[in-house]
């Protein structure tokens, strides 16, 4: 059984991978995974920005919450 250090837990790439053992992979793979995560976040936030209040209400998100999410930088 592998345990995660606090540093590993704080790294967003480790959080996006299936388990902590994956965080030990080579730096190029970690970077590629992180870039994919950032691209997906950016795409999702752009899609969220296109939804009107009716759709937001259907999924249980207020316009204020949506705007806060849209305003976040891609790395967060």
- Residue 21 has a pLDDT of 58
- Residue 14 has a pLDDT of 56
Residue-by-residue pLDDT tens, the chain, 76 positions: 445 555 555 565 555 655 555 556 789 999 999 999 999 999 999 999 999 999 999 999 999 999 999 999 988 9
- Residue 1 has a pLDDT of 43
Take residue 38 and report the two structure tokens written for it: 């950032």
For every residue of 14-76, DSSP letters joined together read HHHSSSGGGGGS-HHHHHHHHHHHHHHHHHHHHHHHH--HHHHHHTT--HHHHHHHHHS-TT-
Query: What is d(CA 48, CA 40) in angstroms, rounded to the nearest whole number?
Result: 12
Q: What is the pTM of this model?
A: 0.62
Provide the residue ranges of all domains of the chain, joining segments of one domain with +: 26-76
- Residue 38 has a pLDDT of 96
Residues 6+ apart with CB under 8 A from 72: 45
């Amino acid at each position: 059984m592998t345990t995660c250090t606090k540093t590993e837990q704080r790294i967003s790439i480790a959080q996006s991978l299936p388990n902590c053992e994956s965080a030990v992979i080579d730096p190029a793979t970690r970077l590629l995974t992180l870039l994919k995560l950032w691209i997906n976040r950016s795409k999702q936030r752009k899609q969220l920005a296109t939804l009107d209040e009716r759709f937001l209400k259907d999924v249980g998100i207020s316009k204020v919450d949506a705007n806060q999410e849209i305003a976040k930088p891609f790395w967060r």
